Amino acid sequence: MKKSQIDNNVYLYPMPVVLVGTMIEGKANFMAVGWVRRVNFLPPMIAIVINIAHYTPKGIQENGSFSVNIPGRSMLEETDYCGLVSGKTTDKSELFELFFGKIPTAPMIEDCPLNIECRLVQTVELPSNYLFIGEIVGAYCEDRFLTDGKPDIKKMDPFVLSMPDNRYWSVGEHIGNAWSIGKKLKAK
Ligand SMILES: Cc1cc2nc3c(=O)[nH]c(=O)nc-3n(C[C@H](O)[C@H](O)[C@H](O)COP(=O)(O)O)c2cc1C
């Protein structure tokens, strides 16, 4: 089988798509983010990677906080819009109905099935991006998106991103249980 060498790019499939919320000059601002990852077990921490030129870093640095909101499929257009326009030139504060948890500078979106508020614990300055690490101080989910008290991916219906072709995808079928299906091979 012949493999072709292709461009050096970051081929990680798929990427989650979230809306990162901040308060900047008294107004809420939201941007679409695909570069987001769990980075610490206890206490639970999330890392987001944001281009230095964007408006969002201003809010995160000034307040030491941000929110991570997971949109469902019905919010595809609004989410993409938040990735097309900058708060530097466009007011995105009226787009969504908001609520706040423990942190007054981490605005969260009512319509998103899942919301997480974070306190900034560390910033890593990379050549073109900031890597912001936040500790989760609160997470919120409507009962209708829960099964046995846990967020249910099928009910939340989030969408994912592929890069570099820049396409959105829905989540597919449940194909097995993690830390479980591989046990069959242990017996051999
Ligand atoms: C689906 C999608 C994912 C994106 N992911 C990121 C990301 O992870 N990091 C980033 O810096 N910009 C990302 N962007 C671009 C920003 O969302 C976009 O530049 C936005 O306008 C920045 O908003 P702000 O200037 O108000 O902070 C993404 C855009 C889209 C459409």
Q: For residue 11, what pLDDT is reported?
A: 93
In the predicted structure, residue 102 carries a pLDDT above the cut 80: yes
Arithmetic mean of pLDDT, 67-89: 98
**Residue 22 beta carbon below 6 angstroms from any ligand 1 atom:** no
3-class secondary-structure state, position 81: helix
Residue range 53-76: average pLDDT? Answer: 98
Residue tagged 């769990």 (tokens): 38
Q: Whose CA is nearest to atom 15 of ligand 1?
A: 83
- Please tell me if the CB atom of residue 106 comes closer than 6 angstroms to any atom of ligand 1: no
Beta bridge mates, 132: 48, 123
CA distance 98 to 183: 44
- The string of pLDDT tens digits covering residues 118-169 is 999 999 999 999 999 999 999 999 999 999 999 999 999 999 999 999 999 9
**Can you give the pTM of this predicted structure?**
0.97
Tell me, what amino acid is at 149? G
CA of 33 to the centre of ligand 1 (A): 5
Identity of residue 10: V
**With a 6 A CB cut-off, is 87 part of the ligand 1 pocket?**
yes
